[in-house]
Chain A
Amino acid sequence: MRSRICSENPDWCIETRGLTRRFGKITAVDRLDLKVAKGTVCAFLGSNGAGKTTTIKMLMNIIFPTAGESRVFGKRSQDLDQQDYARIGYVSENQKLPDWMTVDQLLRFLRPMYPTWDDQFCDLLLEFFELPKERKIAQLSRGMRMKAALVSSLAYRPELLMMDEPFTGLDPLVRDELTQGILEMTQQEHWTVLISSHDIDDVEPLADTICIIHEAKLRIYEPLEGLYDRFRSISLESVQAERVREGAPATWLGAAAAQTRVSFIDSAYRKGELEVAVRTRFPDARNLKIERLTLKSIFIALLRSLQPNRKNLGELYESHFKSTP
């Protein structure tokens, strides 16, 4: 049992061990072990319903775990007190704001709650996000509301920033502004950030560490640079292209052959070893191309490998309409 208890290592800002949450028969989060070091940005990725929001809510003690435990600042989430919450900034796509307040009223209401509230920084954020102080929150667009939520969660310089899908529904310009803003501030302030999203492109510039959760389980947890180093997109030409599916290594994801062309993603790339493996399998291989992958490509390749029987829309269309005489 002792192994299920999180350590109180001061280097970890967030730590979970065996964190599990069930809603009836559905397991939303299954035995999640996660550590986020202080001063790092952790991107918490996963498709819809993967368990990201549930995990963040358990970390914030908004909902309670069925099993396991989570710690924030070395304290059990259930034991977080007023002082701890004053060190955490929380922004969620679904978070309700008091619509009847103006932005200014909201900030004045929040100000006494945070000993570290910085008026100058708050003004700076308002200026940066171009938020109208006198406008009621109900009258703000979705993007503006998210900016207001961000300002209200950043103005006290939180040590930990938890953001749950902060970019959902925002237009590209606003997303870019937010990403840039968060990136600049986290670098300057040395905040710890846990940002959940299924929009990979938005979090890629921010992340130091990547966590990928799928169907309630943690699948990937490693530094972004490690992922970049580990994953490669491979393509080559060979007359024996169809052999790519026969006994291919488990680390070759999404292996496909089209006439003489072979493509796959190597999830355990080591320079030199791959070339040997390819030459062994395809002695006539030519035009071998090895390319680095974006985080989005890595993410998609991983999810596809986890759902090998999943059909895309085209395949579904074909099976439904083309098969009937």
Chain B
Amino acid sequence: MNLILNQLRKDLQRLRVPLALWIVFLASVALPYFDLLSFAGLDDFSWRIYLIYSGFGYFAFCALITASAILEDPVVDTEAFWISRPPRAGTLLAGKACFVAVTVLGPTLLLLTVIFGYHGLWRSLMPAAIEICSTAMLLVSLIAACACLKKDAIQFMAVLLVLLLVTVGLQIVTVVYTDFERPFFDRIGPSSQESKLTTGETETAHIASLLAGVALLSLAVVNQYRTRKTWRSWALLLAAYVASFAVYRYWNIGLIGPSLERGIPAYQLSVKPFVFGIWSDQEPLDAGFRKRWQEYLSRRSHLDVEAMVELQDLPPSYDWKSRITRGETVISGKSEHLSDAWWFRTGSFRHGLPERGLAEVLGADIALLNVTRKSTEWSTIERSSAYSVPILNIKLEDRPPRKPEVVSVKADLAILLYRYEIMLEMPFAEERMEHNGFGLEIERIDHEDGGLSVWVNEYYPSSKLDPKSHHWRGNPYDGWGSGRAPPTRAYVVMNRNRGEAFAKLIRNPKKSSLRGFTVQKGRFATILPKGVDEAWLREATLVVADKLLVGVQEHTIEIEPFEIPAMPNP
């Protein structure tokens, strides 16, 4: 233990200047989260500069501190000072690990604790800490693995650069590949007020993927220190990439994500599979949707298999959508994967208002109406109670059948059940209201030709992030994407006396993140048609409702074998 402390003391002394700068940097990153320095006056551009500064700075300091500590006593250098001295590799590694824990991970965790504590958001501390510390550990272990495989800073930087490029490339591949095929069970869930402070990336697969990477990279570091067998360490380092990818791809157990409601209502699933003929011979199912892909599709001959899905006896307060999560195709006795994963994403194309469940939660005697900016003529829109889920899409150019082939399909269908929940209902005349940590204010009302535009801000009064405006600031271009936010937030202007309500649905409310701190800019406008006047508004209330995921159920569906006709040789 004494030797470990001795090593730690030496490294602290050696790197005292970078460490002092690191502390200054951390303080500068933390300042916006306190009342000491208000960032209310910053525009989005400045805020984005701040995000780049903090993200890049964090990486740069992690790399500098971790690599400097390791390269101070290089593992692969046979002339290194430590190598002929009593502290053996295990002691040296323990010393370096302590150093990184004390100088990098410790301050990160401390900073999080202070900020979350300052804002009284203790419940969010643990998920944020898990998420941020696992990210930091991955960063540190990658840097450490590179550093302990090289004996000087130049070689280290060259290797790190290459590995970072590989990492970015692999991330892109991972996102593109897995987002199509991997189930999203713990990616969408009920959002609590406090959970909005996390990045929303605390999905279990993401954390598990990070930790798998950390484990194998740490193993590479330990192996390098203990055996100095560099080829084996390289193998472990590369295995870390494969493991991270595989874990992210195949993990489907939600441990960290929000818990789902246990009481899923009973329903009867009705699945009617059907097979289109060759695409060019068929009428599209949804002309509006297909039109966007017409050009793409027209260049290729396709064969589509879809299933009409319907949930019978589902209580009216619930909404649902279905998604094919994985499947197997057998063509002429040979097993093949589903041919075109893109279609899984497009399986959720939907219709407009009224959303199932929203009308129910507002009240039985309310007619929920939809208005668009283009057409202020309002009307009720009936949506179908069933819709089709694309299952299989075979590109016949890739596989032109010379003779008729028999195809059978087996697929897993996930049913995602949602329910609306009112977050706040404010009399329109009040203009501002707070409830349960959520705030709403009417910024202004614009009288336009054909109706009114109501501009609304939402804010979080329990946060001291931006005391002047109460706005959550951030990069407005990021989507909730993988976050915990509700997939749909509804803003409803409702007049109970007249039994009318006009809703504006915001899908994927905007957010941004600063290493664990989600910030939201909740300014939006809703449009009211001509029939709404000042007298109508005086009786009205403004309602915010979130559509929350309450359960996921999987079903297996099978398509009876069908035949693909032979195609002439193009």
By a beta-carbon cutoff of 8 Å, the part of chain A in contact with chain B is 57, 60, 62-64, 81-83, 85-86, 88, 90, 92, 94-98, 100, 105, 109-110, 112-114
Cα A94 to Cα B80 with chains together (Å): 9
Collect the chain B residues with CB atoms within 8 Å of residue A113's CB.
3, 6, 85-87
Cα A52 to Cα B27 with chains together (Å): 53
Collect the chain A residues with CB atoms within 8 Å of residue B10's CB.
98, 109
Is A112 a contact of B2 with CB atoms below 8 Å?
A: yes
Chain B positions 61-81 with a Cβ under 8 Å from a chain A Cβ: 72, 77-81
Cα A86 to Cα B81 with chains together (Å): 14
Of the residues B79, B81, B83, B86, contact of A98 by C-beta under 8 Å: B81
Q: Does B375 contact A (CB under 8 A)?
A: no
In addition to A63-B78, A96-B77, 16 A-B residue pairs with Cβ atoms within 8 Å of each other are A60-B83, A85-B85, A85-B88, A86-B86, A90-B84, A92-B79, A95-B79, A95-B81, A96-B79, A96-B81, A98-B10, A100-B14, A110-B85, A113-B3, A113-B86, A114-B86
Cα A62 to Cα B79 with chains together (Å): 9
Least CB distance, B365 to chain A, in whole angstroms: 80
Collect the chain A residues with CB atoms within 8 Å of residue B77's CB.
96
Q: Does B174 contact A (CB under 8 A)?
A: no
Least CB distance, A41 to chain B, in whole angstroms: 19
Is A94 a contact of B86 with CB atoms below 8 Å?
A: no
Collect the chain A residues with CB atoms within 8 Å of residue B81's CB.
95-98
Chain B positions 123-174 with a Cβ under 8 Å from a chain A Cβ: none
- Give per-residue flags for B165-189: 1 if the beta carbon is below 8 A from chain A beta carbons, else 0: 0000000000000000000000000
Least CB distance, A84 to chain B, in whole angstroms: 8
Is A82 a contact of B83 with CB atoms below 8 Å?
A: no
Q: Does B223 contact A (CB under 8 A)?
A: no
Collect the chain A residues with CB atoms within 8 Å of residue B85's CB.
85, 110, 113
- Give per-residue flags for B1-24: 1 if the beta carbon is below 8 A from chain A beta carbons, else 0: 011001000100110000000000
Least CB distance, B246 to chain A, in whole angstroms: 33
Chain A, Cβ-Cβ closest to B2: A112
Q: What bracket does the count of chain B residues touching chain A fall in?
A: 20 to 34
Least CB distance, A102 to chain B, in whole angstroms: 11
- Give per-residue flags for B340-364: 1 if the beta carbon is below 8 A from chain A beta carbons, else 0: 0000000000000000000000000
Q: Can you spell out 27 A-B residue pairs with CB atoms less than 8 angstroms apart? A: A60-B84, A62-B83, A62-B84, A81-B88, A82-B3, A82-B88, A83-B86, A85-B85, A86-B86, A90-B84, A92-B84, A94-B79, A96-B77, A96-B79, A96-B80, A96-B81, A97-B81, A98-B14, A98-B72, A98-B81, A109-B6, A110-B85, A112-B3, A113-B3, A113-B86, A113-B87, A114-B86
Collect the chain A residues with CB atoms within 8 Å of residue B6's CB.
109, 112-113
Q: Does B376 contact A (CB under 8 A)?
A: no
Cα A308 to Cα B255 with chains together (Å): 77
Chain B, Cβ-Cβ closest to A110: B85
Least CB distance, B19 to chain A, in whole angstroms: 14
Query: In terms of DSSP, what is the predominant structure of the interface of chain B?
Result: helix
Chain B, Cβ-Cβ closest to A89: B84
Cα A207 to Cα B428 with chains together (Å): 101
Collect the chain B residues with CB atoms within 8 Å of residue A83's CB.
86
Is A95 a contact of B84 with CB atoms below 8 Å?
A: yes
Cα A82 to Cα B3 with chains together (Å): 10
Collect the chain B residues with CB atoms within 8 Å of residue A64's CB.
228
Collect the chain B residues with CB atoms within 8 Å of residue A81's CB.
88
Cα A81 to Cα B3 with chains together (Å): 14
Cα A96 to Cα B6 with chains together (Å): 19
Chain B, Cβ-Cβ closest to A88: B84
Least CB distance, A115 to chain B, in whole angstroms: 9
Collect the chain A residues with CB atoms within 8 Å of residue B72's CB.
98
Collect the chain B residues with CB atoms within 8 Å of residue A92's CB.
79, 84
Q: Does B91 contact A (CB under 8 A)?
A: yes
Collect the chain A residues with CB atoms within 8 Å of residue B228's CB.
64
Collect the chain A residues with CB atoms within 8 Å of residue B14's CB.
98, 100
Given contacts A109-B6, A113-B6, contact A82 B87 (CB under 8 A): yes
Chain A, Cβ-Cβ closest to B7: A109
Collect the chain A residues with CB atoms within 8 Å of residue B2's CB.
112
Cα A114 to Cα B85 with chains together (Å): 9
Least CB distance, B169 to chain A, in whole angstroms: 33
Cα A85 to Cα B86 with chains together (Å): 5
Least CB distance, B151 to chain A, in whole angstroms: 10
Given contacts A100-B14, A109-B10, A112-B2, contact A62 B78 (CB under 8 A): yes
Cα A100 to Cα B71 with chains together (Å): 14
Least CB distance, A111 to chain B, in whole angstroms: 9
Collect the chain A residues with CB atoms within 8 Å of residue B13's CB.
105
Cα A162 to Cα B79 with chains together (Å): 14
Chain A, Cβ-Cβ closest to B5: A112
Least CB distance, A140 to chain B, in whole angstroms: 15
Shortest 10 CB-CB contacts between residues of A and residues of B: A90-B84, A85-B86, A113-B86, A86-B86, A82-B86, A94-B79, A112-B6, A62-B78, A96-B79, A62-B83
Is A57 a contact of B78 with CB atoms below 8 Å?
A: yes
Least CB distance, B64 to chain A, in whole angstroms: 16
Collect the chain B residues with CB atoms within 8 Å of residue A86's CB.
86
Cα A86 to Cα B3 with chains together (Å): 12
Collect the chain B residues with CB atoms within 8 Å of residue A105's CB.
13
Collect the chain A residues with CB atoms within 8 Å of residue B86's CB.
82-83, 85-86, 113-114
Cα A90 to Cα B82 with chains together (Å): 11
Most buried by B among A83, A86, A109: A109
